[in-house]
Chain A
Amino acid sequence: MELMKATTSASARTVNNQSSDKLLEILLYVCAAVILIVLVYPLFFIVIASFSDPSAVANGQVWFFPKGFTLDGYKELLRHDNIWIGYRNTILYTVVGTAIGLTVNISAAYALSRKDLVGRKWISLFFIFTMFFSGGLIPTFLTIQEFHLYNTFLVMVLPFSVVVFDIIVARTFFQTSIPGDLWEAAQIDGCGNLRYFVQIVLPLSKAVISVLGLWIAVGYWNSYFNALIYLKNQNLYPLQLILRNILITNQMQSNMGSGEAAAVALRLANMMRYSVIIISTIPIMCIYPFVQKYFNQGVMIGAVKE
């Protein structure tokens, strides 16, 4: 009797659960759909607006398709040399900066991952301390000036290339993924540390190298702070600083005359704000789906506690 009661209540519970699970399922996909729309629609709007007549955009006629299709916004970009100089500079900073950053951080991380490194604890502290304490803006600025790096190419790629967080991620990777026996064996064969690092460790570390490389590259592509502080020469400006002038401080509009010419210029400047967003973001958005799995991997590597 007791047993039967128990079974009936359990099956009643299952029926109950099924309906509550259904409800959850519906709620889940409704919420997910809303989130997707909130994330995608603004970006989609920028894309269609970049191909639309700006007065149609201003009058609220552009919702799902471009209205008054035009490429004027993109043509306008071609007239602005500083955008393309900025583009070139950003590519240079990203490529050189990522190469330097990877070299410096990965090699330091490997050394710190080795348990037989004498003074490991103190050297780690030397690195980690800089994550939490810094001289601050002005003392750093004065230091850069003292090294004669102000307003140079080098200031954009060298002084701030050590990223202690990345070193910790890579160190954790080396500790967990490179078997210690390998070094023992290599040592017996008379292989030195440097050769072992280059010929054995690096080929085994493609995952962490890609992750850090992508993090660093995206960081360089997107940053404007160092350029704002340490560059004066417009020809050295990276894309983001040019974008700031176009999108935020509206410098393109300030030097306009009046009358009809001004109205045309204003229209073009408005259109250009859309197209410039598209062309500056496209490189990252194109690479992104291909490298997404590495980003996930990276966070997982970083999440592994020592």
Chain B
Amino acid sequence: MKTSQPSINIQRTFGQIRKNWGLYVLLLPAVVLLLCFSYKPMYGVLIAFKDYSPALGISDSPWAGFKYFEKFFNSYQFSRTIKNTLIISIYSMVTFPIPILLALMVNQMRANRFKRVFQTVTYMPHFISTVVMVGLLLILFSPSNGLVGNIYQLFGAEAPNLMGSASLFSSVYVWSDVWQHAGWDSIIYIAALSSVDPSLYEAATVDGASRWQKIRYIDIPMLMPTAVTLLILRVGGLLGVGFEKVYLMQNNLNISSSEVISTYVYKIGLLSNQYSFSAAINLFNTVINFILLILVNQISKKFSDSSLW
């Protein structure tokens, strides 16, 4: 009897699979696409350890060991790109409470009409494309004929060249991001606030609490779990500053503070065709991000019961 138990289980499993074959058909397209375009490139990561030559292909190219990693660690771009990447992500992390403030504001608005308009307007910039966003910055911040230039002119002052300044690059990047996305990012907090039990507010009113006190002792504690989870996720993406916006904002004047890892990977790889070197830098970045994410997820599990998987 005991020996046949596993085989019955196996039979049952196979029966289940056969019965639900339709579900596997539904999964098939996504699985095939991921195999081809996510997992296959993961195998291609091997070129980071090889002297890749297109003629030989991935598997026949000669091994290079950690040559390209060492090359990156020893180049002056190593500290520069990592420093720039970190500055930008830590700076954006500082603006983290802004969506929370917006959500608290929306939650306090009694006039429904105004509230709706406010939400519509604050979400709207999120849908502007990155290209148009950077185009807007260039137009508005142009010292000669932009809006900012005109405002300076009103006061008879000389406008700074915001887009061509290395020292101001991170500020322009981060605050334009806040302008564009803070409203959208507040949605999740607004949702969390709308799920607060109204009897809590009623009880607070009976106890003579002011609106300030309700915000302080009801709203903010309610938002803490969401805020902590999102903040922890941000820490996990510390070295993951995206390519699209930084690349568009780069120019010769600000390059010393605008070269981040992802833009450097692109330039080395596709503009100067050093495939193995680029793949090595990229892999280094991915691995650091992956380790950070796992670490942060462990910490999050420990302190807030919330984890990604």
Binding site for B on A (CB under 8 A): 10, 13-14, 16-17, 20-21, 24, 28-29, 31-32, 35-36, 38-40, 42-43, 45-46, 54, 57-60, 103-105, 107-108, 110-112, 114, 116-118, 123, 125-128, 130, 132-144, 147, 158-162, 167, 192-194, 196-197, 218, 221-225, 229, 240-241, 243-244, 246-248, 270, 273-274, 277, 280-281, 284-285, 288-289, 292, 295-296, 299-300, 303, 305
Contact = CB atoms under 8 A, between A and B. Distances in A.
A17 B208 contact: yes
B279 A136 contact: yes
Contacts of B134: 247-248
Given A35-B122, A134-B41, A136-B283, A127 B278 contact: no
Q: For chain B, what secondary structure do more than half of its interface residues adopt (helix, strand, loop), or is it mixed? A: helix
A104 B30 contact: yes
B1 interface: no
Given A39-B125, A45-B147, A139 B30 contact: no
Interface stretch (B21-29, B81-89, B164-172, B252-260): B21-29
A46 B121 CA distance: 16
A268 to B, nearest CB: 15
Nearest to A305: B306
Nearest to A144: B37
Given A138-B270, A224-B129, A299-B187, 8 more contacts: A28-B108, A107-B27, A108-B26, A130-B34, A138-B279, A143-B41, A243-B129, A244-B131
Contacts of A243: 129, 131-132, 135
B150 interface: yes
Interface in B158-195: 179, 183, 187-188, 191-192
Contacts of A24: 108, 210-212
Nearest to B101: A31
Contacts of A117: 20, 23
Contact of A107 (B16, B26, B123): B26
Contacts of B100: none
B69 interface: no
A40 B128 CA distance: 13
A26 to B, nearest CB: 12
B177 to A, nearest CB: 14
17 contacts: A28-B105, A39-B124, A54-B145, A60-B149, A60-B154, A111-B27, A112-B27, A123-B27, A127-B34, A132-B290, A135-B41, A143-B44, A193-B23, A224-B130, A244-B131, A246-B135, A285-B124
Interface SS, A side = helix
Nearest to A299: B187
A129 to B, nearest CB: 9
A138 to B, nearest CB: 5
Contacts of A105: 30
Contacts of A35: 102, 118, 122
B132 A280 contact: yes
Contacts of A147: 36
Contacts of B21: 193
A197 B47 contact: no
Contacts of B40: 135, 143
A103 B29 contact: yes
B45 interface: yes
Contacts of A28: 105, 108-109
A303 B26 contact: no
Contact of B244 (A161, A224, A246): A224
Given A142-B58, A248-B134, A130 B38 contact: yes
Interface in B268-309: 269-270, 275, 278-279, 282-283, 285-286, 289-290, 293, 306, 309
A137 B266 contact: yes
A118 B17 contact: yes
B44 A197 contact: no
B16 to A, nearest CB: 5
A225 B244 contact: yes
A190 B243 CA distance: 51
The 7 tightest CB contacts between A and B, nearest first, are A135-B41, A193-B22, A139-B44, A247-B135, A58-B145, A136-B282, A60-B150
Nearest to A108: B30
A57 B146 CA distance: 8
Contact of A135 (B42, B131, B209): B42
Nearest to A28: B108
Given A24-B211, A28-B109, A32-B118, A39 B20 contact: no
Interface string B206-236: 0011111000000000000010000000000
B18 to A, nearest CB: 10
B33 A162 contact: yes
B22 A292 contact: no
Contacts of B270: 137-138, 141, 229
B36 A143 contact: yes
Contacts of A285: 124, 127
Interface in B77-116: 102, 105, 108-109, 114
A54 B150 CA distance: 13
A10 B105 CA distance: 27
Contacts of A38: 179
Contacts of B27: 107-108, 111-112, 123
